[in-house]
Amino acid sequence: MYNPYQLDHSKPTHKDYIDTTDFDQSEMLDMIKLSTTVRDYIKSGKTLSTLYHKNLAMIFEQKSTRTRVSFEVAMEQLGGHALNLAPGSIQLGAHETIGDTAQVLARMCDLIMARVNHHESVLELAARSSVPVINGMSDWNHPTQELGDIITIFDHLPEGKPLDKVKVVFVGDCTQVCGSLMMITSKMGMEFVQYAPPAKWLSDEYLKIGRANNQRYGGSVHVSDNPAVLEGADFIYTDVWYGLYDKETPKEVYMREFYPKYQVNAEMLAATGNEHVKFMHCLPANRGEEVTDDVLDGPHSIAWDQAENRLTAQRGLVLYFGGVAEETLDEIKKQKED
Ligand code: CP
């Protein structure tokens, strides 16, 4: 029987949250359960302080709105504190190696979150840190976005549809967000399709992970440039077409590849044949490029719920990897019974 106050795993199998491939489906479900139970509790006006006196160091090699604010607010709401170590504000990269930075931060803080330019950097941080490291996005994946996104998808599941029939279509470039969405939807046994020009399909390295998930959990993973794949989509998701990690290729090149065929607009939503289709975007969006205003601001859009669920996910992650998941759920249960 479902018990929101009990997790299958009392401890994560990995110290760090670098890649969801390190965790099985039931561990991811534990993170979802913890995140949503805490969300409901905090939304009911109650407070928690299970991270009292705990500090999260946040390293950013790039700009961020959602990741930065959600982690900072999550730590504050749970009784802890977050330090924003913005680009250029610490010695990292200039006078100090990532490994030395990791060792120093681990002596002073309880958790480290890092958004990095290269995935190797977050691996190096984790290897040299004695405290848990959370990957706040790299050029390979975006696992904190992944958790928030799957929570949003679960919040908006079509009624009565089994997970293996739920179709998620990512439209556009094979960004790390696209790769991450494929990894988490296939881990949940859903149908995932990337709709993009062949040159922008997910690489075999990603697809191998998705197909291994299909074998273990069901569902399917496909890539296609045929608009017929839009039919029956329950969720249409897109991300910016350029400028995220590839700073070399001019915008015009991307525009030529994606526009107008891969723009999410009213016509594309209609092509799904599903009047209840939901639209998702990790944000920030380039309005008028990968998505039109009327879609992003329209009735199908759940992009703002999705943004809010970054906070839902971060609270779950700092509690889970901060080692106080069980304690927090016990506290919620006790306060509810009182
Ligand atoms: N989606 C996302 O990671 O947003 P930020 O870059 O603002 O953190």
pLDDT at site 206: 98
Protein residue with its CA nearest to atom 7 in ligand 1: 65
Which atom of ligand 1 is nearest the CA belonging to 283? Answer: 1
User: Per-residue confidence at 99, pLDDT binned at 50, 70, 90?
Assistant: very high
pLDDT tens profile 304-333: 999 999 999 999 999 999 999 999 999 999
Q: Is 282 in the pocket of ligand 1 (CB under 6 A)?
A: yes
* d(C-alpha 82, C-alpha 60), whole Å: 13
pLDDT tens profile 135-150: 999 999 999 999 999 9
User: Per-residue confidence at 31, pLDDT binned at 50, 70, 90?
Assistant: very high
pLDDT at site 73: 98
Which of 66, 139, 176, 290 for a ligand 1 pocket mutation test, highest count of atoms within 8 Å of Cβ? 66
3-state secondary structure the chain: CCCCCCCCCCCCCCCCECCHHHCCHHHHHHHHHHHHHHHHHHHCCCCCCCCCCCEEEEEECCCCCHHHHHHHHHHHHCCCEEEEECCCCCCECCCECHHHHHHHHHHHCCEEEEECCCHHHHHHHHHHCCCCEEECCCCCCCHHHHHHHHHHHHHCCCCCCCHHHCEEEEECCCCHHHHHHHHHHHHCCCEEEEECCHHHCCCHHHHHHHHHHHHHHCCEEEEECCHHHHCCCCEEEECCCCCCCCCCCCHHHHHHHHCCCCCECHHHHHHCCCCCCEEEECCCCCECCCECHHHHCCCCECHHHHHHHHHHHHHHHHHHHCCCHHHHHHHHHHHHHC
Protein residue with its CA nearest to atom 4 in ligand 1: 66
pLDDT at 88 over 90: no
pLDDT at site 174: 95
pTM higher than 0.85, yes or no?
A: yes
Q: Is 101 in the pocket of ligand 1 (CB under 6 A)?
A: no
**Ligand 1 center–CA 200 separation, angstroms:** 22
pLDDT at site 166: 98
Q: Is 65 in the pocket of ligand 1 (CB under 6 A)?
A: yes
Protein residue with its CA nearest to atom 2 in ligand 1: 66
**Ligand 1 center–CA 283 separation, angstroms:** 6
**Ligand 1 center–CA 63 separation, angstroms:** 8
pLDDT tens profile 238-253: 999 986 777 788 889 8
**Ligand 1 center–CA 67 separation, angstroms:** 5
Mean pLDDT, to the nearest integer, of 286-303? Answer: 98
Mean pLDDT, to the nearest integer, of 32-59? Answer: 97
Tokens representing 81 are 């504190």
pLDDT tens profile 221-275: 999 999 999 999 999 999 999 867 777 888 898 899 999 999 999 999 999 999 9
Q: Is 243 in the pocket of ligand 1 (CB under 6 A)?
A: no
**Ligand 1 center–CA 337 separation, angstroms:** 38
pLDDT at site 329: 97
Q: Is 104 in the pocket of ligand 1 (CB under 6 A)?
A: no
